Homo-oligomer: A and B are copies of this chain.
Amino acid sequence: MKKSELSLRTDEVLIHEGQTNARLFTLLSGWAFRFKTLSDGRRQILSFLLPGDFIGVQQKMADAAAHGVTTLTDAVFCVFQRDALWTLHRQSPSMGFNVTWLTAHEESLVDDNLLSVGRRNAQERIATLLIQLYKRMAAIQTDNTTEDGVPFPLTQQHIADSLGLSLVHTNKTLRKLEQLGLHRIENGRLYLRDVMALERMADLYGDGRPPQRPLV
């Protein structure tokens, strides 16, 4: 496929909020997140982006209001041409199908988060987030280390903005879960100490193991 590569460092902007004709990207390595803000600065993180995720389909659609994308770590992106989305569908239906798949999958992540933010309390939200990020990371990791930790570059501010909580309340809840022995975050890595208890708290139904995903 036609492309080039783009490297960004931690906390740099890939797509500005409101930008409507951004190019298409794939995240090759590192973490990023999508977000929206209100005019007074309140920010909502919509979803976290991990390697393999597709970026920019919504902006291509020149839709209602767009969202921004910023890196959480140093990251490398695969850059597509401006009209790549249409070209891709025409030249390779199977690739087009995969794009639809990835877009739908991306939406289901947002659905999950909306359920949390709308209907779970702070403890439940955090438990849910920790489990989901842990599972997504575990599914991606090439080195199948059975030891607990996965990389975890989020600050508490990111967690708060993702879950619709204040920073202070996020901190207190996080500490409480840690004191209950459910998890630990240390040196940018997340360790789940009591997965059963976390899952009970999160009330996960279909236990959501990440499905096989196509590569684009």
Q: Which residues from chain A sit less than 8 Å from chain B, CB to CB?
A: 18, 34, 36, 38-40, 42-44, 46, 57-58, 60-67, 85-86, 89-90, 93-94, 96-97, 99-101, 103-115, 117-120, 161, 163-164, 203-206, 208-211
Contact = CB atoms under 8 A, between A and B. Distances in A.
A105 B211 contact: no
A58 B205 contact: no
Contacts of A118: 44, 117, 161, 163-164
A93 B93 CA distance: 6
B63 A108 contact: yes
Given A107-B110, A114-B114, A66 B97 contact: no
Given A93-B93, A115-B38, A117-B118, A64 B100 contact: no
A61 B108 contact: yes
A129 to B, nearest CB: 13
A181 B160 CA distance: 35
> What 5 A-B pairs are tightest by C-beta distance, nearest first?
A118-B164, A64-B208, A65-B206, A107-B107, A44-B118
B61 A211 contact: yes
Contact of A107 (B39, B58, B208): B58
A85 B101 CA distance: 10
